[in-house]
Structure formats: C-alpha cells, structure tokens
Structure 1
Amino acid sequence: MTTTSGTTAADERRATALAFVAQGRVAEAERAFGELLREHADDVDALNFLAICAHGRGQADAALELLGRAHAAHPGDTTTLTNLGVLQRELGHLDEAHAALAEAVRLAPALYVARLRLGEVLEARGRLGQALPAYFGAILHAQEHGLWLSDATTDAPLRPLVKHAMRAVASGRRMLFASLLTPLREKHGDAALARVGRGLAIYLGELEPDYPDPRQRPKFFYVPGLPATPVFARELFPWFETLETHTATIREEMRAVLAADSGFEPFLGHFDDTAPLASHLRNERDTPVWDAFFFFRHGVRNDANAARCPRTSAVLDTLPLCRIREHSPEVCFSVLTPGSHILPHHGVTNTRVVTHLPLVVPDGDLALAVGGQSLRWQEGRCFSFDDTFEHEAWNRSDATRVVMLLDAWNPHLTEIEREAVTSLISGIGDFNRAAGL
C-alpha cells in the first residue's frame, strides 16, 4: 500500500522503528521492526536490528539465522556483512568471519569498523602482518571522520579494540619498516643508514623534522641531513649534457604527438587530492591547462606513449632516473598554456629531484619560482630543483610552454641510501595499499 505522499506503509513503519532507535527506545524499536518483518520477511534493517537484539540476549543461533537471511536477500549489504563477521568471530568461526569482513571492506574500503574487525580476525588467525594494515586503515579512515581521537570520540564497546589496534600499529609499523633496512645495515653498518633511519623516525612521528629551511615542507618522506638546496648546481648531474644533445630529436617527437592531440591528460587529474582544481591551477584569461604526455607515471611505464616517441624513449633508457616501484619516476612532456598559473605547492620527498628539459619557451613573462628564486627556462638547457620547497610556475605569455619533466635521485644521497630509500618507500607503499589508503 502506498500513501498519498508516495511512501509505503513499510517505509513509514521503518522510519518509526529507526526513530525509536535514535531515541534509545530499544524495546519499542524491536517491536516496530518485528511488525515490519512480518510484512516484509527480507527487510534488511529489520533483520539486522533484530539480530543485534537477539545477540544481546545471548541468543547467538537466532542472531546468526537472522543475519543469514539478511545476507541471502542482500548479499552486498555491508552492514549485514560486518555484523555477520563480528558474530562469527565471537562464535570462533574465524574463516567465516574473515570472509564476511573481507567482503565488506572490498565493497566499502572506507568502512572503518569492518576494517577494525577484520584486523581483529586476522590477528586471531595468527596473521599479524596482514592485521596491521587493516588496523592502520581503520584508524585513519575513522579519524578522517573525527572519530577514535579520544575516549570521547570512540564508542565505549569499541574502545579496548581501538586502543589495542593503535598500540599494535605503533610498534608493528616500526618493526616492519625497520626490517626492510636490516639487510643493508648488516652489510654496510648503522652509520651508512643513519640519515635514512632518522627519516623513518620522522615519517613515523617519533622525531620532529626540524627543517633547516622553513620554505621546505615534504608532504611524504623527508631525509634529514641533505643540503637544503632549492636549485642544484649543474655539476652534480653529469648526464645533463647527454640529455641536452638530444633536445632537437625530443622536441620533434613532442611536436608530433602535440599535433595529433592525443595521449595528453590533465596533470592534476592524477593528484590524490580532493581539493578543487582552482586551489592548484588558475588562468585569468581562459580555462587553465596543465597537460602531460606521460612516459612514466608513479613509476609505471606508459608503453603506448613510449612507442609513439621511440627516440625519446631510447634516450630516457640511458638516464639515471629515480626508480621506485609504483612511485617513481614521473616523466612527461609538461604543457602549460598561455595564462595558466600552477599555484604554490610542495612536493612529496627530498630524496628525488625534479629535472626540466625546456623544449618550447615562448617570449614573455613565464618562469618557475622555487623557494623564492625565479628561474627562466632556456630551450635545451636542463636544471634540477627540490620540489619540497614551495614552488610555482606561470605562463603569462601568448604561447604554450612545453618542457620535459623527469625525476632523478637527489645527488647528495649515497648509493647505499638510494637502495635504502627504494626498499623503504616500496614497503611503505605496499603497506598503505593493503590499508586501503
């Protein structure tokens, strides 16, 4: 039956029951949901609430039967899967609990309670290495919503498990990431890894970064003790000359793909950031455009683009790029249209530097500013800068600017430190991905 407002009697009964729940009137809510269930035997809200009530009275079998009905009727309902996983865990059915909670997290990666409970089950199964990222992801997702920051922001029934998860993450991440450096420590000694070790402590929040220059603010990983240099001396990059000799060839292939107007994509479209475009890029004349034709993105080679520029790709293969699985290098033709302004921002780590090979530099007001120092691009002449210093770029000319952008190692890192950073960043990436971040 449908009322004149378009809602059904079942909708109204459900709304009444949920209102009782919100008011803490549990007995009345249970009666209302019971009436709803008699009319609609597969109502997911009713089945879940009545299962919780049965569980509260110690009627585990009845609760399990109700949740089983809910799951059969609504296999993708994450609330049902979470409740089913928690109950199966209490009953000691760890395989079933794992399956239900893992499915809930797969369907809703930001579902922090399901992640927390999944971590609990994994730890109970002796899989602490898998439990830690589940706990870590649960904590971060909850705290993004202002929860689990204190006892006051944590539901009382969850507090013991949340506090346990936080302790496990604090000690477990330290042990896990430190173990990634163990082979290098055993081979080269502690002193060779001292700077990277302090960088790990800073990443884990155990040390303050104490930046020597206030303009430097790495967003991800900072190795202290490296010279704080916004722009690097050319002598530190002996491969610049090799790259520069191929400028004409690289420019020719760039012009061909630019003319075809395919393969380019918004550089900012890849930012892991929910901030609006206007906070990163502006243009007072027209639509702002900062496009890129990627050869590598987050360390992954774009084979199709590479095949379209074979001579450029061959040159790139000879360069000592910073290569970290699923992180680096970034290599692209970077296109900035007239009037576009890349607003001040900071990069992620001082372990790698950004190099520009300018390909097309029109006359007019256009430049890159790093740490307050303005740099004018010169076609065919490379420079490298530390993008963890605040930097911005603008093109106030009447034509498009194009540079080849690529990542290289910070030249002040030793070879051993580069190995250590590669291992550490790869491991952190694996952990964060497992945590759903």
Structure 2
Amino acid sequence: MSTPPEHSLEIHRTIARQHAQRGELDAAEKSFLSLLDRQPQDVEALTFVADRQSARGEHAAAIQRLRIAVQVQRAEPAVWVQLASAQLAMGDFAAAATNFQCALSLAPRMFVARLQLGIALEQLGQSHEALKAYFMAIESARALGRWLDDATTAPALRHLVKYAVNYVNAGRHDLFRRALDPLRERYGSTELTRVERSLAIYFFEQPANIPDPRQKPKFLYFPDIASQPYYPRKHFPWLETLEAATATVRDELRAVLAEGSLEAFLGNTPAPTGQGMLRSSSDQEPAWDAYFFYRHGERYDEHCARCPQTTALLDALPLVRIRDHAPETLFSVLSPGTHILPHTGVTNTRLVTHLPLIVPPDCAIRVGGVEHVWQEGRCVTFDDTYEHEAWNRSEQTRVVLILDSWHPDLSEVERAAVTDLVEAIGDFNQSCEIPVAPN
C-alpha cells in the first residue's frame, strides 16, 4: 500500500526538522526542497530555504520564495520581516521599508524590525522618518530592559544600536534647537542662554546642578531661577482678583457638585491603592475627582459654559498656555479620608496655585517637607517639582480650584521659548507613539 501524500509531506518535514536541530543545515535544506517539490506553498519550507539562500547572498532567490510565503500567511509578521530583511540586504530600500511597515502594523513592538526600518528610511533620504523609527525602536527595546548597554544588547546588533542612539541624539537635538530659531533670530542668542542650558540638561549634556535636592522635575529643568517650595504673594498681583471671586466660584462649584458630573483625576481606571497614588484612612475607597476647565491645554467647552464666571476669571489670568500641554485648570475634589501620596511634577518653569473653596478640618498639603493648611479664599502657590502630597482626614469633601502660571523669574522671551520647545518635544513624542496591535 502506498503512503498517502500528506504523510509523505510530514515525513519530509520531520526529517528536515531533525537535520536542522542537529545543525545539519544543508541536509535540512535539501529535505525542505523535497517538500516544496510536493507542496510549493509550504511556509515553513519556504522560509527555511529562503533563510539559507540569504545566508549565501542569494537574496533575489530568497525574495522570490518569501513573496510566496507572505501571500500564504499575510498575518504572520515574522514572514514580512524576513522578506523585508532580504530586500534590505539586496539594496531595495523602498520595498524593504514598505514590508517592514507591514510587519510592524501587525506587531508594533518588534523593535529589531523597527531598527531595520530606520536603516531603510535613512537610505531613502527620509531622515526625519528614520529618526522616528530609530527612536521608537530604542524606546520599545528599553521598555523591555534591552539595549540599555552592551550586556543587554545582542553582540550582532551592538554597532547598529550605538549608531541609532547617536543618530537619535543628534537628530532630536537639531530638531528641538531649530524650534527656537525664530526667537533666536528675533531676540539674539543671549536672551535664550538659559533655555539653551535647559535643553542641554534635558539631553544630559550638562549636569542640572539643582541647588535644592528636594526638587526633582521629571521632564524639564530650567536653571538659574528661584527654587523654593512655596512662593510669596508679591510675585502674583492677580491673586487678589482671584481671591475676591471666591464666593462666586464656590457658588458655581456647588452647582457642579450637585450634578455629580465629576471624573477621576487619574483617569477611567479604578483609583490605585496600596503602593499607588492614593490611600484611604477610612473603610471607603480613596477618591480624587476633578471637574476640568482645561486639561493638557484642551478646553472643556461644556464645563466652561456651565461655570461662566469661573471661566471668565481663569481666562483673564496669566496662565501657562502650551498647545497639548497647558493650562490645566480644574476643581480638585478630595473625598473624605483620601491621601494623595508623595509625587513630583514635570517642570519648574511653571508654578501651581490653589484657591481653596471648601476646606473642612484636618486637610493640608505638604510641599518639600513643609506643611501648609489651606484657608478658604486664601491662595497658595507652590512648585510641584518638589515632592508634595495632600490629604483630607475629615469626614467631608475638600475642594480647591487649581491653575498653573509661569515661574516669575522667566522673561517673556524665555516663556515663548519654553512654549516652542515643549510643543516641539511633545509633537515629536506624539508622532512616535507605538500604535496598538490589531486584534
């Protein structure tokens, strides 16, 4: 009795795999070629033989086989990567870039493939797209503990990874410095000296030399300006106008609270507890809620319309205004028993002001180790790059109006420069966000 065809195929496959496992690659290739004689679209055989052909420099033959393989398994990213890698080796950079992108659309966190995409794009003269590809590859790898140093980088990739890191550092530095060119041309380099130093610190080209070790900005440190947890009122003449409107603002707040239209400050996920951002001193879940007028620079039109007098007041103040970043203005609502654990802010270029509206007993904020007890209608301004925390140990709700304003030591030119710089950094980072893989 003859052997069924499907059994014959599996015999060839088994023999080929056994040869491959023993390192007998020529014999394995021969067995897979025999399998392909019977089943020309077998992806395992196609990719193995193509890999052997690429190793011999027979890239055209490998590409021919891999084109068949991707038609059979279009949803398999590894096959697209193998095809693109062969095209890259052959110098067909346009085809390689297209097929690396196909692979990454299926598996966005394949950082080696994205590194190779960067090579193809650079060879095509698409320097900015190459910059993004290299940056995304490095960030993806480092998020998994890879490419941090030689020990976490495969030997075969070390030279290329170092090249990509240098390319990214130079490219981002040039991109962000060019964002300041219009102001540099208009006002001269001297006016931007501190901004240039801030950028150098951002790139770890200069030490920050922060005078107060309690200050720990997470994003952008601006040098040679005052550093202190709390700031005296004399720097902010507009505080009196804000405080004079306390009763009006509180009336609009009470209407908002009655509607129950708040959202969790920390997002839609359940408030983190334990080692997270919030703790509770009672049996109730901790809650830090918000009613935003602006968040990350985005205006909440419905909320602004609901509180017209508060909005008019805020719109008249010298708030930080940076596209997609600032201002951030809101009613901050801290539920009974809730403790916001110590944390630090992103930059010392801006300061945070609280207008306390509803303050029961046993509520306070601590900034840089210095405790402050809110007083209704009396503003407090602080630098949130100092470690700070807040708590409500009462059985009632605490509410403050929060807003951010420029650090008073920044000149108008420096404020404009920080705005342009942060927008440039933000735009680049947003363009490099890793998409979510399809289901």
Aligned to 1:283: 280
Aligned to 2:133: 134
5 Å-filtered alignment, 1:3-402, equals: 47-262=46-261, 264-269=262-267, 278-285=275-282, 286-363=284-361, 365-402=362-399
State the distance in 2 between where 1:34 and 1:176 align: 51
Q: Sequence identity, in percent?
A: 50
Q: Deviations over 1:208-247 (max 9, x none)?
A: 1111001000000000111002111112112222222332
Tell me the CA shift for residue 50 of structure 1. Answer: 4.2
State the distance in 1 between where 2:260 and 2:133 align: 43
Aligned to 2:6: none
Normalised to the residue count of structure 2, the TM-score between the two structures is 0.86
Q: Deviations over 1:100-123 (max 9, x none)?
A: 223433444432112211211221
Query: Does the CA-based 8 Å contact 2:60-2:90 persist in structure 1?
Result: no
State the distance in 2 between where 1:371 and 1:20 align: 66
Q: Deviations over 1:237-291 (max 9, x none)?
A: 12222222332232222222222222x22222389xxx97732111131211111
State the distance in 2 between where 1:71 and 1:231 align: 62
Cα 1:111/1:238, change in 2 over 3 Å: farther
Query: Does the CA-based 8 Å contact 1:109-1:436 persist in structure 2?
Result: no
Query: Does the CA-based 8 Å contact 2:330-2:401 persist in structure 1?
Result: yes
Query: Does the CA-based 8 Å contact 2:111-2:138 persist in structure 1?
Result: yes
Cα 1:282/1:35, change in 2 over 3 Å: farther
- Structure 2 residue runs of 5 or longer lacking an equivalent are 1-8, 435-439
Query: Does the CA-based 8 Å contact 2:358-2:400 persist in structure 1?
Result: yes
Query: Does the CA-based 8 Å contact 2:287-2:335 persist in structure 1?
Result: yes
Aligned to 1:7: none
Tell me the CA shift for residue 201 of structure 1. Answer: 0.6
Tell me the CA shift for residue 314 of structure 1. Answer: 2.5
State the distance in 1 between where 2:196 and 2:144 align: 32
Whichever residue aligns with residue 424 of structure 1, its letter is L
State the distance in 1 between where 2:315 and 2:108 align: 37
Cα 1:54/1:196, change in 2 over 3 Å: same
Query: Does the CA-based 8 Å contact 1:356-1:406 persist in structure 2?
Result: yes
State the distance in 2 between where 1:38 and 1:258 align: 75
Tell me the CA shift for residue 86 of structure 1. Answer: 2.3
Bigger mean CA offset, 210-219 vs 331-340 = 331-340
Tell me the CA shift for residue 29 of structure 1. Answer: 6.9
Tell me the CA shift for residue 385 of structure 1. Answer: 0.8
Structure showing greater radius of gyration is 2
Aligned residues: 423
Cα 1:83/1:392, change in 2 over 3 Å: same
State the distance in 1 between where 2:348 and 2:95 align: 45
State the distance in 1 between where 2:353 and 2:22 align: 61
Normalised to the residue count of structure 1, the TM-score between the two structures is 0.86
